[in-house]
Amino acid sequence: MPEPGVPLGRLGFGVASLGNLFMELSDERAFEILDEAWAAGIRSFDTAPHYGLGLSERRIGTFLATKPRDEFVLSTKVGRLLEPDPGADGLDDEGFRVPATMKRVWGFDADAVRRSLDASLERLGLDRVDIVYIHDPERSDIGLDAALATAVPAVAALRDEGVVGQVGIGTMVNEAVVAAVRTGALDLAMIANRLTLADHSALDEAVPACREHGVGVVAAAVFNTGLLAHAEPHGRFEYADADPQLLRRVRRIAAVCASHGVDVPTAALHYPLRRGAQTVVVGANGPGQIAQNAARLETHVPEELWAELEADGL
C-alpha cells in the first residue's frame, strides 16, 4: 500500500481540541501545545473540517507551515462540507466553542470529496495532506451503505492519482469499520473509543476485518473522552457521565494497574498497541499533557499486569 513520507509513529496528536472542543483555547495556548507536541517528538497530526468549523485546520496549518514538509504526517477528513450560515446565532451546537457562522453539510460523492479536500487545503494553507479519512459515514443523511458506495471510490481515486498517500475511514462505530475495510480499497481505519481498556468491542469484528484486508489500525479517543485519563477514574465516557457499572469496572482496572506500579492512563495508551493498533492518537487542551503522554508511552508495563486483567475478566 502507499505510505506517507514519514512513519505515523506510535503516538499521534488529534487536534480536535484546537477547534475549541468543550472549551475555548486562545491562539497562543494552541500554539504552545503544538510546540510541546513537536518537542516531544510527535510528527503525526490529525484534524478535520468538523473540528471547530475549520478552526482546528487553520491552527494546525499555521503551525505546520513553519516546519519542513517532509518531517510530518498530516491527515484530515471528508464527509462534512462547511458552508456559510449567515442566519445562525450563538455558538456551534456540536460541542465546539466557536461562533456558528458555518454549517456542516453531508457530502460523500466524488465531487463533494474533492471540494472538501480543496477547502481543507485552503484552510490549512498547505499543498497536500498525507492521509484522508472518510468521517463518520454512518451518521450521514443517506446512511452508511450509500455513503461508502460513493466515498470509498472517491478517496481511492485521490490516492491512485497521487493526490494523497493513504486513505481510510474514521469512526467510532465498529460496523462502519467492517463495511469499509471489506471493500478492499482502504489503507487505514481510525477507530475511536472502541479499542480501549473501557471498551474493546473493536476486537470482535473490526480489528480482525482490518487484519484480514491488510488495513492498518489507528486507535483514537483511547481515554474515552476522559474516563481513562486519570489515575483515579472519573468523569465522562464518550461525552456523557460514565455509567456507574462501567465506572466500577474501570476502578477495578485501576486497582490492578496500581498494584503493578502503573497508572490507568499509561495502561490505556499501551493497550491498543498490544491489540493491533499501529498508532495511538491522543488530544490535549493544556500544557504538559502531550509530553506526559509521550513519556507514558515509553514507560514499561509488566506482562503480569495484562495477565491479571485478563484473568479477572477485565
What pLDDT, in 10s, does the model give residues 100-137?
A: 999 999 999 999 999 999 999 999 999 999 999 999 99
Residue of 219, 158, 220, 218 lying closest to 185 (CA atoms): 158
Report the pLDDT averaged over residues 133-144.
97
Number of domains in the chain: 1
In a domain, 1, yes or no: no
Better pLDDT: 87 or 248: 248
In a domain, 6, yes or no: no
**Is 80 exceeded by the pLDDT of residue 3?**
no
In a domain, 255, yes or no: yes
Residue of 48, 150, 44 lying closest to 94 (CA atoms): 48
In a domain, 4, yes or no: no
**Is 70 exceeded by the pLDDT of residue 2?**
no
Condensed to tens digits (0 to 9), the pLDDT of residues 23-68 reads 999 999 999 999 999 999 999 999 999 999 999 999 999 999 999 9
In a domain, 2, yes or no: no
In a domain, 220, yes or no: yes
In a domain, 40, yes or no: yes
What pTM did the predictor assign? 0.95
**Is 70 exceeded by the pLDDT of residue 6?**
no
The pLDDT value given to residue 233: 78
Report residue 236's pLDDT band, with 50, 70 and 90 as the boundaries: confident
Query: Average pLDDT, whole number, for the chain?
Result: 94
Better pLDDT: 244 or 18: 18
The pLDDT value given to residue 4: 54
Residues designated as active site: 51
CATH number at residue 287: 3.20.20.100
Nearest-angstrom CA–CA distance, 53 and 79: 13
In a domain, 275, yes or no: yes
Domain that holds residue 265: 11-311
Report residue 231's pLDDT band, with 50, 70 and 90 as the boundaries: confident
Q: Looking at this protein, which amino acid is placed at residue 224?
A: N
Report the pLDDT averaged over residues 4-26.
90
Report the pLDDT averaged over residues 280-291.
93
